[in-house]
Amino acid sequence: MNLRKAFVSAVATIACTAGIVAAAGEASAAPATPTKPSAAAQAPGRVQVDQPLTRAERDQQALNQLGSSVSTAVSIGALAGTGVGAVAGCIIGGIIIPAVGCIPGVITGAGFGGIVGTIGAGGPTLAGAVDQYIKTINSPFTPPKSITIPLTPAR
């Protein structure tokens, strides 16, 4: 395989991986929206596409972000609340009922702490994420400018 064919094949592979549909050897490709890649990710012939091309795609990305934000906040809140509740339950259980000890207090405190942590961290995050989602889906959509990426090397 000569150098030109290897280059065209490599560029076609990179273009197809980035979501650009083109056959190897053709001189045109579907439009894409590049972003400024970091210096480490920059490579000749490589295009990064991360902007939504349609309104539906933008709305789906906003919904995915909403779910991800709330899920993370609820998980972290439950974990932290469980830990704090367990410690508080042990201290309170040991003081109120010294004969029984720390174990029943840990179990009860962990349960209550998990619930309080879930609501305490998840509630405000849910409110903020829903607000951002509603703003995103109600804002006007402007499609990105398109460019054409040639699959043949420059001479």
Q: What does the pLDDT look like over 91-123, one tens digit per residue?
A: 988 888 777 778 888 999 999 999 999 999 888
32 close to 149: Cβ distance less than 8 angstroms = yes
Q: Is residue 29 part of a domain?
A: no
Mean residue pLDDT across the chain: 75
Q: Which of 134, 81, 138 lies closest to 111 in space, CA to CA?
A: 81
Q: Is pLDDT of 8 > 70?
A: no
- What does DSSP assign to residue 38? -
Please tell me the predicted confidence (pLDDT) of residue 61.
92
In a domain? residue 32:
no
- In tens, the pLDDT along 28-64 reads 444 444 455 455 455 555 555 578 888 899 999 999 9
What is the Cα–Cα distance from 31 to 10, expressed in whole angstroms?
Answer: 19
Q: Is residue 83 part of a domain?
A: yes
pLDDT at 145: 76
Q: Indicate whether 4 belongs to any domain.
A: no
| Radius of gyration (C-alpha) of the chain in whole angstroms | 27
> How many angstroms separate the CA atoms of 59 and 69, rounded?
15
DSSP state letter for 51: S
Does residue 13 lie in a domain region?
no
Structural domain contains residue 127:
yes
Q: How far apart are CA 8 and CA 11, in angstroms?
A: 5
pLDDT of 75: 93
Separation of alpha carbons 22 and 11, rounded Å: 10
Q: Establish if 123 belongs to a structural domain.
A: yes
Q: How high is the pLDDT of residue 34?
A: 47
Tens-digit pLDDT profile for residues 69-86: 999 999 999 999 999 999
Calculated CA dihedral for residues 22, 10, 17, 150, nearest 10 degrees: -40
Within-domain flag for 101: yes
For 105-141, give the DSSP string.
Answer: HHHHHHHHHHHHHHHHHHHHHHHHHHHHHHHHHHSPP
Please give the C-alpha separations between residue 139 and each of 117, 126, 128, 135, in angstroms, as whole numbers. 33, 20, 17, 6
Structurally, how many domains does the chain consist of?
A: 1
Range of the domain at 125: 55-138
What pTM was estimated for this model as a whole? 0.56
